[in-house]
Chains A and B, each alone.
Chain A
Amino acid sequence: MQDLVPKEYKERNSLVINPVKTCQPIGAMYAALGIHGALPHSHGSQGCCSYHRMHLTKHFREPVVASSSSFTEGASVFGGRANLETALKNIFAVYDPEVVAINTTCLSETIGDDIGSIINGFDVPAGKTIIHASTPSYVGSHITGFSNMVKAVIKQVSEKNEDAKTNNKINLIPGFVDPGDIREIKRILEAMGIDYILFPDQSDVLDTPLDGSYDMYPEGGVTIPELKDTGNSQATIALGEFAASDPAFELEKKHDVKPYTLKSPVGIKATDEFLMQLMKLTGKEVPAEIEKERGQLVDIIADTHHQFHGKKVAVYGDPDIVISLTEFVLSLGMKPVHILTGTPDKKFEETVAEMMESADWKYNLTAGGDLFQLHQWIKNDQVDLLLGNSYGKLVAKQEDVPLVRVGFPILDRSVHSYLPTIGYKGAILLVEKISGALLDRKDRDTDFELIEFVL
C-alpha cells in the first residue's frame, strides 16, 4: 500500500523515493539495439547489464541481448582493460555481431577506464565496427544515456563525401520511443515521398514475429552504411529536445548538417509542427491520406470534448513525452495540474511553463522529481486522470484515480509497443484510451438507476 505517503510536505534534498527515471546505460543499450547487427555491451560489473536487459525485456516482451565486461573486484581497482579485451574476443568468436556498441556504468566511469584507447589497441575483425559511449549513471537519466549513445554513433561513424554531394535525404532521430512509433514516423515520411535515414531504429528488432526460429540479429536496425551516410544528408530532424537534440547538433558540428529540434510529435499541435517542418525542408506536400487522419482526429476531439473539458490531469514520465502530452491534454480542453519528470534538466520546466502561460489554474511543475512527490501533490490537489508509466499504478490505486499508461516503462500491459503514440494515428489511439479510462470510471461510479447507454 502507498499509505505511508503523508499529505504534509517535508523538505527532501537527498532522499529519492520511487523515481521517475533510471540510469544512463539502459538508454544507451536501447539506442544500440536500433543499429542492425549490433550487440550492446556494458562495460562494468554484470549486474547492470542484467538489470537493463531484464527491464527492456519486460517492456517489450522480446529478447534483449547484450554482453558485459563482468568486472570483478580486481578489475575495479586496476582497471577493466583486460576484461574488455577478453569480452571483445569472445563476442566476435561466439556471437559474431556486425557492431559492438559499448556503454559504460558508474563503475568504469568512476575508475576512469579510457575505452577509446582500449579499443584502439584492439584488433577489430575486418568489416566490424565498435562504437563506444560514455554513460555515467550519476549524470542525468536513461534519456541522457540514449542521447549519449546516438551522439557517439554520429561522432564515430558518420562520414561526409569529399565531393560534398548530398544524398538528398533527411536524417531523423526519433528519440526514446517504441517500435510502433518508429513505424508511424516512417509511414508518414514515406507517404510524403521523403528519402530519409532514421536512427536508431528498433522496429523489426523489438517487435519481431514468432515463426519458430530465433535470430539474434533481426532484420531491423539502421545499417552502418546508412549511419556513415548521415553526414551527407541535407538536414537532421531531432524529435525530442532531451533524447535527440544533442546528437543532431553533434552532426552539425562534425559535418555541417543543419539540425532542427522539434517536440516529440505526440498530439495534434506537435504533429502539425513536424509535418510543417518536413514540408519546409523538402517542399513536399502533406498527402490527402495524412490530412484525412488529421481531420478524423479533430472530428473525434470535437465529438467527445465534453468528456475531457476541465478534467484535471497529472502527467509524469520522460521529459520529451511529458512535454508533448501536456500540450496534447491542453488541446483536449483538460487541465494539467501536476507535471513532473525525473530527468533533472531545468530546460524542461522552461518549456512546459511557456506552454502553460495561458493557464488560469494553479499547477505544479518540476524536473528531477519522483513519484512520492507526485503522490503528495495529488493528495493536496486531486486529479481526474493520471498519464504516465506503469509505476503510477501505486498512486492511482491508493488515490482511486484512473491511469492511462503511456511512456516508458509499461510493464503490466501488452501490445503498447506495437501501437503508435506519435502522429495523428497515435493521437487518435490516445484519445481512445483517455476517453475509455474516464468513461469506465464514470460507469463504475454511476448508480444503476442513472446508467446511460450513450455517453
Chain B
Amino acid sequence: MKNNNAGIEDVLDEVLQSYPAKSMKNRKEHMLIKDQKKGKHKIKANTRTIPGIITNRGCAYAGCRGVVLGPLKDVVQLVHGPIGCSYYAWGMRRHQGVAAEGGKNFINYTFSTDMQDSDVVFGGERKLKEAIKEAVEIFNPSTIMITATCPVGLIGDDINSIARQAEAEYGITVMAFNCEGYKGVSQSAGHHIANNEIMANLVGIEDKELDYKYPINLMGEYNIGGDAFEIERILEKIGYDIVASFSGNGTADQIKYSHEADLNLVQCHRSINYIAEMFEEKYGIPWLKVNFLGVDATIKALRNMAEYFDDPELKERTEKVIAEELAQIEGPLNRYKELFEGKTAFLFVGGSRAHHYQNVFKRIGIETVVAGYEFGHRDDYEGREVIPDIEMTADDRNIPELEVTKDDKKYNMRISKAKKEELQQKMPLDYYEGMIKEMEDGSIVIDDLNHHEHIKLTEALEPDIFCSGIKDKYTSHKMGIFSKQLHSYDYSGPYAGFKGHLQFAEDIAAGILNPSWSYINPPWKDNVELAGTIGGVR
C-alpha cells in the first residue's frame, strides 16, 4: 500500500464514515498521510478528547505524579484524594530505581490521604496535614511531593499553603502540585504542571561544588525497564558525569543542584521541554535533543555530545566506545534484519516513543506504516518551528505558564552565541524536528487514536506488529496480530542504548515467531475429509 496515497485516503475515509458529522470533522483534522511533495504538514493535536470516543488518554494527575514525579526514588509521593489515583500509580509504570548510597527508595510504596466523604464535605486539609506528619515521623524523607486529584480543586483544599507550612515545620522540602485530573486535555497538562513546580521550587535551591569534567543532566528519561541504567552505563563509560536525572533513577536531592550541569540531554521532548527551555533562560545551559532508542540514534546523540564539548580526547573515547559496543551487537542485529525485512509496524504511543522507535524498527528491517501520539503537541509532530503558530485553546489557558528570568548569581552562558549557532547547523541544539519529517511517504500519522480507529486501520493495513499499550494489546492479539507494548515493554527491557536494541529485536522475534499464531485456525476448519462413521451418526 506504500506510495499509493489514493488507496490510503480511502482507508481514512472509511474510518471516518462511522462518525456523527461533528466528530467526523474533528477526527479528520487529527490524521494525515505523509507526502513529501506537500512540504509542510499540519495536524491538529493537544485538543479536547471527544467524549465517548474510547480514547487511550489518561489525565493530568497521571502525567504529573505517574510520569514525571513518580521515578524520583527519594521522594514520598503523597497523593491527596480518594484511594484510586494513588493505587493505580503504584508499581504500574516500570520506572526502576536503585537507592543511592545511604539514600532511601520509596518507589515500591504508594502514599495516599484516602479521602472519605467527610473530607469532601468538610475539606481534606486537616487530614493532609496529619498525613504529612505521619509520613515524616515514620520515614523522615528529605522531600515530600503532594499531588492533587480531581476533587481537591473542587472542594478548595489549599495544598500549596499546607506544603509551605509543612516545609517550615519539619525542615524538609515539601512541594505541592495542582495536577487535578480534569486539567488540560491529557497527561500533557500534568507534565507541564510538574515541570513548573520543579523548576520554581526544586532546581537550584542548593549549590554544590562538583568536580566533574563533563557534567550533564539527563532529561525526559524515566528508566522504564532499566533504560536509564543502560544509558548511564554508556555515558559513564565515555566519561560523562550525570548530575541529575529528570527523573528516571533520579533523586530530588540531585535536582536541587542540577543547575551545575553544562548540558541538558532531552530524550522525551514532550514531557520535559519546558524545564529544558527554562534552564537555558535562567542558567544559560543549552539542551540537546537526543534519542537513545536505537543504535543509529544513540550513535548520533553520542557524537553530537562530543562535538558540543569539543574535546579531542572525549571524541576519541566516544568513537572507541561506539566501536566496542557495536562489535558486540551488529552481527545479531543484521541477522534480525534479514529475518524481519519487509514487515510493517503500527505505532501508537504517548508523546515521544511513536517517533523514537521508528529508527529502532528500521534498523531491523521493519517499516512503520502508521504512527501517532496520545497527547503530543504539534511541535512533536511537525517540529519546534511551528510553536509560534500554535493556537492556544481554553484548556491550555488553565495551565499556568511559568516565567523565568536570568538568575544573576548563577547564570553562566555555557557556550558563546556564535558557537551555538555553529553547532545548531550540525545538531538539534535547542531544537526538535518532530516525528513527521522522519517518516516515509504514504505512511499515516494519527493523533489521539481511539478504539474504532485502531480496529479499522488494523483491518485495512494488516500490520505485522501493533505497538501500543496494555489497553489495546489484547484487542490486537484477538485479531491475530502480535502486539508489543511500548510503554511497559511487556515487562522486559532495557530497550535503550546498544544492548537495549538487541534485547528489543529479540523480544520482537519472540513475539512474531511464536508458534501460537500458527494455531489460530483449528485444523478441522478446512479439512473436508473428516467424515467418520463410528458410532453410526452418519
Provide the bound-state CA to CA distance between A318 and B81, in Å. 21
A147 within 8 A of B: no
- Contact present for A87 and B51 (CB under 8 Å): yes
Residues of A within 8 A of B28 (CB): none
Task: Find chain B residues with CB under 8 A from A26 CB.
Answer: 84
Q: Is the CB of B48 within 8 A of A72?
A: yes
Q: Name which of A61-69, A153-161, A276-284, A292-300 contacts chain B.
A: A61-69
Task: State in angstroms the CA–CA spacing of A45 and B187 once bound together.
Answer: 11
Q: Closest approach, in angstroms, between the C-beta of A106 and any C-beta of chain B? A: 5
Q: Does A53 contact B (CB under 8 A)?
A: yes
Candidate in B472, B473, B475, B478 with the most chain A CB atoms within 10 angstroms: B478
**Distance in Å: Cβ of A35 to nearest Cβ of chain B:** 18
Given known A-B contacts A69-B51, A138-B115, A107 and B86 have beta carbons under 8 A apart: no
A167 at the interface (CB under 8 A from B): no
Please give me the residue from chain B that is nearest to A25 by CB atom: B84
From 401 to 444 in chain B, residues with beta carbon under 8 angstroms from any chain A beta carbon are none
Contacting residues, chain B, for A15 (C-beta < 8 A): 78, 111-113, 130-131, 134-135, 138
CB pair B139 A107 closer than 8 Å: no
Tell me whether B151 and A107 are in contact (CB under 8 A).
yes
> A41-B52, A47-B181, A53-B471 are contacts. A107–B479 as well, Cβ < 8 Å?
no
Bits for A33-65, please: 1 = Cβ < 8 Å to B, else 0.
Answer: 000000001001111101101110110011111
Q: Is the pair A16, B113 in contact by a Cβ cutoff of 8 Å?
A: yes
Given contacts A19-B110, A107-B182, contact A46 B474 (CB under 8 A): no
Nearest first, the 8 A-B pairs at minimum CB distance are: A47-B59, A87-B52, A23-B84, A87-B51, A90-B52, A137-B82, A14-B130, A107-B150
| A-B contact list, 11 entries, CB within 8 Å | A45-B59, A46-B49, A48-B84, A50-B471, A55-B88, A63-B472, A64-B471, A71-B181, A90-B53, A110-B150, A138-B117
A208 to B479, CA, bound (A): 12
Further pairs besides A54-B88, A70-B50: 20, Cβ < 8 Å: A1-B108, A16-B114, A19-B110, A46-B57, A50-B56, A51-B84, A65-B451, A66-B54, A70-B51, A72-B395, A86-B50, A90-B50, A90-B51, A94-B19, A94-B52, A107-B154, A137-B82, A138-B120, A138-B151, A391-B91
A47 touching B62 in the complex, CB below 8 Å, given contacts A4-B104, A95-B54: yes
Whether A212 and B479, one on each chain, are in contact in the complex, defined by CB atoms closer than 8 angstroms, is: yes
A14 to B87, CA, bound (A): 16
> Which residue of the partner chain A has the closest CB to B107?
A1
Instruction: Tell me the bound Cα distance from A105 to B154 in angstroms.
Output: 13
Complex interface: chain A residues within 8 A of B472 (CB): 63
1/0 contact string of A7-27 vs chain B (CB within 8 Å): 000111111111101110110
Q: Is B55 an interface residue (CB 8 A)?
A: yes
Query: Does A21 contact B83, Cβ atoms closer than 8 Å?
Result: yes
Q: How far is the CA of A21 from the CA of B87 in the complex (A)?
A: 8
CB-based contact A18/B181 at 8 Å:
no
For the complex, count residues of B whose C-beta is within 8 A of A.
88
Within 8 Å of chain B (Cβ to Cβ): is A83? yes
Q: Produce 1/0 per residue, A385-425, CB < 8 A to B.
A: 00000010010000000000000000000000000000000
Do A68 and B113 have beta carbons less than 8 Å apart?
A: no
| Residues in chain A near residue B86, CB distance under 8 A | 16, 19
Q: Is the Cβ of B51 less than 8 Å from the Cβ of A76?
A: no
CB <8 Å contact, A50 and B58: yes
Q: Is B4's CB within 8 Å of the partner chain A?
A: no
List chain B positions with a Cβ less than 8 A from chain A.
18-20, 23, 48-62, 78, 81-88, 90-92, 99, 104-106, 108-117, 119-120, 127-128, 130-131, 134-135, 137-139, 149-151, 153-155, 180-185, 394-395, 398, 451-452, 455, 469-475, 477-480, 516, 520-521
Asked whether A1 lies within 8 Å of B131 as measured between CB atoms, the reply is: no
Given the contacts A44-B150, A210-B480, A210-B520, A13 and B130 also touching, CB distance less than 8 Å: yes
Q: Contact at B20–A210, with CB atoms within 8 Å? A: no
Given A17-B109, A95-B452, A214-B478, are A106 and B51 neighbors across the interface (CB < 8 Å)? no
CB < 8 Å: which of B61, B106, B127, B182 contacts A72? Answer: B182
Chain A residues with CB under 8 Å of B59's CB are: 45-48, 50
Question: Are A71 and B182 interface neighbours, CB within 8 A?
Answer: yes
8 Å CB contact of B150 from A95, A105, A213, A342: A105
Q: How far is the CA of A208 from the CA of B474 in the complex (A)?
A: 11
> B134's contact among A10, A23, A69, by CB below 8 Å, is which?
A10
Chain B residue numbers with a CB within 8 Å of A14 are: 113-114, 127-128, 130-131, 134
Q: Give chain B nearest CB distance to A431 CB in angstroms.
A: 30
| Contact call A47/B58, Cβ cutoff below 8 A | yes
CB neighbours of A4 from chain B (8 A):
104-106, 109, 139
Contact between chains at B150 and A54 (CB < 8 Å): no
Max count, chain B CB within 10 A of own CB: residue among A18, A48, A67, A70: A70
Measured in the bound complex, the distance between the Cα atoms of B50 and A84 in whole Å is 11
Q: Which B-chain residue is minimally distant from A77 (CB atoms)?
A: B154
The answer to whether A45 touches B182, judged by C-beta atoms less than 8 angstroms apart, is yes
Q: Do B451 and A211 have beta carbons less than 8 Å apart? A: no
Q: Is the CB of B134 within 8 A of A214?
A: no
A6 within 8 A of B: yes
What's the Cα separation between A216 and B85 when bound, in Å? 27
A364 at interface by CB-CB < 8 Å: no
Docked-complex contact B110 and A17, CB < 8 angstroms = yes
Q: Is B109 a contact partner of A18 (Cβ separation < 8 A)?
A: yes
Closest beta carbon of chain B to A21's beta carbon, Å: 6
Contact (Cβ within 8 A) A54 B470 = yes
In the assembled complex, the Cα of A30 lies from the Cα of B138 at a distance in Å of: 36
Instruction: Point out the residues of chain B lying under 8 angstroms from A74, CB to CB.
Output: 394-395
> With an 8 A cutoff between CB atoms, is A302 at the interface?
no
Which residue on chain A has the smallest CB distance to residue B474?
A: A63
Given the complex of chains A and B, what is the CA–CA distance between A338 and B170 in angstroms?
34
Partner of A76, one of B23, B150, B471, B516: B150
Q: Please, which residues of chain A bring their CB within 8 A of the CB of B78? A: 15
From A25, A106, A139, A213, give the contact of B81 (CB < 8 A).
A106
